[in-house]
Structure 1
Amino acid sequence: MTEPSTLLTAVGLSIIVITVGLLIWGRVAPVVAMVLVPVVGALATGFGLDQIQEFFAEGLSSVMNVVVMFIFAIIFFSILSDAGLFDPLIRTLIVMTRGRVILVAMGTVLIGAIAHLDGAGATTFLLCIPALLPLYNALNMSKYLLLLLVSLSASIMNMVPWGGPLGRAAAATGIDSAQLYQPLLIVQVIGLALLLGLAALLGLREIRRIDKGVAAGEFERVDNIDVHQIADDFTKRQIQDRAEVEGKINRNRVVFWLNVVLVAIVLTVMLAGWLPPALTFLIGVAVALPLNFAHAQTQMDRLKAYAPNALMMAAVIISAAVFLGVLRESGMLESIALSLLAVIPASVGPYLHLIVGALGVPLDLLTSTDAYYFSVLPLVDATAGQFGVATTSTAYALMIGNIIGSFVSPYAPAMWLALGLAGANVGKHIRYSFGIMWAFSLVLLLVAVLVGVVQV
Structure 2
Amino acid sequence: MVSFIGFLTIITIVTLLITKKLSPIVAMTLIPVAAALILGSGVEELTTYFQDGIDSVMSVVIMFIFAILFFGMMQDAGLFDPIIDKVIALTKGNVVLVAMGTIAIAIVAGLDGSGASTFLITIPALLPLYKRLNMSPLLLMLLTVLSVGVMNLLPWAGPIGRAATVLNMDPVALWRPLIPLQLIEIVLLFIVGALFGLREKKRIAQKQESTAASEEIAAAAETLEMDEEEKAFRDSLKRPKMLWFNIIFTLLLIGTLMSGVLPSGFVFMIGLSIALPLNYRSVDEQMGRIKEHAPNALMMAGIILAAGTFLGILEGTGMLEEMASGLVNILPGLVVPYLHMIIGFFGVPFDLLLSTDAYYFALVPIVEQIVSGFGVESTKIIYTLVVGNIIGTMVSPFAPALWLGLGLARVEMGQHLKYSFFWVWAFSILLLFVAWIMGIIGS
TM-score by length of 2: 0.95
Task: Give the residue type in structure 2 aligned to 1:131.
Answer: A
- Equivalent position amino acid for 2:324 in 1: A
Query: Structure 2 vs 1, CA of residues 238 and 171 (structure 1 numbering), >3 Å: closer, same or farther?
Result: farther
Q: Which residue of 1 aligns with 2:200?
A: 206
Which residue of the partner structure matches residue 103 of structure 1? 97
1:244 is matched with which residue: 214, 226, 233?
Answer: 233
Q: Distance in 2 between matches of 1:191 and 1:422?
A: 25
Residue range with higher mean Cα deviation, 190-199 or 65-74: 190-199
Q: Following TM superposition, where does structure 1 have runs of at least 4 consecutive aligned residues deviating by more than 4 angstroms?
A: 215-220, 236-242
| CA–CA separation in structure 1 for the residues paired with 2:77 and 2:354 | 36
Give the Cα separation in 2 of the matches to 1:14 and 1:243. Answer: 52
Deviation at 1:43, TM superposition (A): 0.2
Match of 1:427 in 2: 414
Contact in 1 for aligned 2:6/2:319 (Cα 8 Å) = yes
Give the whole-Å Cα distance in 1 for the aligned partners of 2:436 and 2:228. 44
Cα distance, 1:346 vs structure 2? 2.5
Matched, 1:381 2:375: no
Match in the other structure for 1:77:
71
Where 1:182 maps in the other structure, the secondary structure is helix
Retained in 1: the 8 A contact 2:341–2:442?
no
Is 2:185 aligned against 1:191?
A: yes
Give the counterpart letter for 1:135 in structure 2.
L
Decide whether the 8 Å contact of 1:140 with 1:219 is kept in 2. Answer: no
Computed over aligned residues only, the root mean square deviation of the Cα atoms, in angstroms, reads 1.8
How has the CA–CA distance of structure 1 residues 204 and 448 changed in structure 2, closer, same or farther, with 3 Å as cutoff? same
CA spacing shift, 1:166–1:239, aligned 2, 3 Å = farther
Which one of 123, 131, 138 corresponds to residue 132 of structure 2?
138
What are the ranges of 5 or more consecutive residues in structure 2 without an aligned counterpart? 215-221
SS of the residue corresponding to residue 55 of structure 2 reads: helix
What are the equivalent positions in structure 2 for 1:23-34 lying under 5 Å apart? 23-34=17-28
**Letter of the 2:343 counterpart:** V
| Distance of aligned partners of 1:238 and 1:98 in 2 relative to their CA distance in 1, 3 Å threshold | farther
CA–CA distance in 2 between the matches of 1:111 and 1:282? 27
Aligned 1:272-311 pairs, distance under 5 A: 272-311=259-298
* Within-5 A mapping of 1:2-401: 7-214=1-208, 241=230, 243-244=232-233, 246-247=235-236, 249=237, 251-253=239-241, 255-401=242-388
Deviation at 1:242, TM superposition (A): 5.5
Q: Does 1:406 align with 2:393?
A: yes
In the alignment, which residue of structure 1 is the partner of 2:435? 448
Looking at structure 2, the residues matched to 195 and 345 of structure 1 have their Cα atoms a distance apart, in angstroms, of 37
Deviation at 1:299, TM superposition (A): 1.1
Q: CA deviation at 1:349?
A: 2.0
Distance in 2 (alpha carbons) for counterparts of 1:42 and 1:382: 19
CA distance in 1, matches of 2:358, 2:187: 30
**Within 2, Cα distance between the matches of 1:349 and 1:238?**
56
The answer to whether the 8 A contact 2:99-2:197 is kept is yes
Deviates more, 1:386-395 or 1:437-446: 386-395
Would you say the 8 A contact 1:239–1:246 is kept in 2? no
1:417 matches 2:411: no
Residue 241 of structure 1 deviates from its aligned partner by: 4.6
Q: CA deviation at 1:157?
A: 0.6
CA contact (8 A) 1:250 1:294 kept: no
Separation in 2, partners of 1:33, 1:389: 31
